[in-house]
């Protein structure tokens, strides 16, 4: 599909929200992964899985992928590492033997609790200049954006519905 924008058009990376979120997430993840590997022997993906299992124990790897938004391969690799390190254990789902249920072990709970203290301190440092009201607003806005990700990811500029919508959006306003 040919571009309808001028060749000079470009993103303002200081105002383009997806870029700002991505840049922040990448920097935070890289720092956390390095810190957690150096101090606890796990990376950011393993930490995310430990944190999820602490909140929602006894879940399937597919559920982990849905909640965290990671691909199956990354979750599978991290779960194998966590299992080999005795931080999680697997069992068959009693309702469907084809499914595997993952749970934290006692040592997984201990590791979670140790990393949790560091993660909370990092969050406090990140949000240190925010008032309580600003934190609440930020959380609300991020939650609202997260709720729209499915809609955003379903967008296809070549879809007939979107093509019609685009032509209406790009047409001069009639004042109606």
pLDDT at 74: 94
pLDDT at 139: 97
Same domain, 29 and 105: yes
Q: Give the CATH number, domain containing residue 109.
A: 1.10.10.10
Q: Tell me which residue of 12, 82, 15 sits closest to 46, measured CA to CA.
A: 82
Per-residue pLDDT of the chain (176 residues; tens, 9 = 90+): 555 656 678 999 999 999 999 999 999 999 999 999 999 999 999 999 999 999 999 999 999 999 998 999 999 999 999 999 999 999 998 888 889 999 999 999 999 999 999 999 999 999 999 999 999 999 999 999 999 999 999 999 998 877 555 544 444 433 33
DSSP 161: H
Q: Please tell me the total count of domains within the chain.
A: 2
Same domain, 105 and 46: yes
Domain contains 81: yes
Question: How far apart (Å, rounded) are the C-alpha atoms in residues 56 and 50?
Answer: 10
Same domain, 93 and 110: yes
pLDDT at 93: 87
DSSP for 92-133, written as a single string: EETTEEEEEEEEE-HHHHHHHHHHHHHHHHHHHHHTTT--HH
Same domain, 22 and 98: yes
Domain contains 173: no
Same domain, 135 and 121: no
Range of the domain at 21: 17-126
Same domain, 35 and 102: yes
């Amino acid at each position: 599909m040919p571009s309808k924008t001028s060749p000079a058009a470009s993103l303002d990376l200081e105002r383009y929200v997806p870029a700002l979120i991505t840049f922040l997430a990448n920097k935070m993840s890289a720092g956390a992964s390095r810190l957690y590997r150096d101090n606890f022997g796990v990376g950011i993906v393993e930490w995310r899985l430990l944190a999820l299992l602490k909140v929602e124990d006894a879940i399937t790897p597919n559920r982990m992928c849905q909640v965290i938004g990671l691909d199956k391969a990354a979750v599978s690799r991290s779960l194998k590492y966590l299992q080999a390190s005795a931080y999680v254990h697997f069992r068959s789902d009693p309702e469907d033997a084809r499914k595997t249920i993952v749970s934290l072990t006692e040592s997984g709970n201990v590791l979670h609790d140790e990393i949790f203290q560091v993660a909370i301190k990092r969050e406090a440092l990140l949000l240190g200049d925010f008032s309580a009201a600003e934190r609440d607003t930020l959380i609300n806005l991020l939650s609202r954006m997260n709720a729209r990700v499915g809609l955003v990811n379903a967008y296809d500029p070549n879809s007939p519905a979107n093509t019609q919508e685009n032509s209406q959006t790009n047409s001069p306003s009639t004042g109606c």
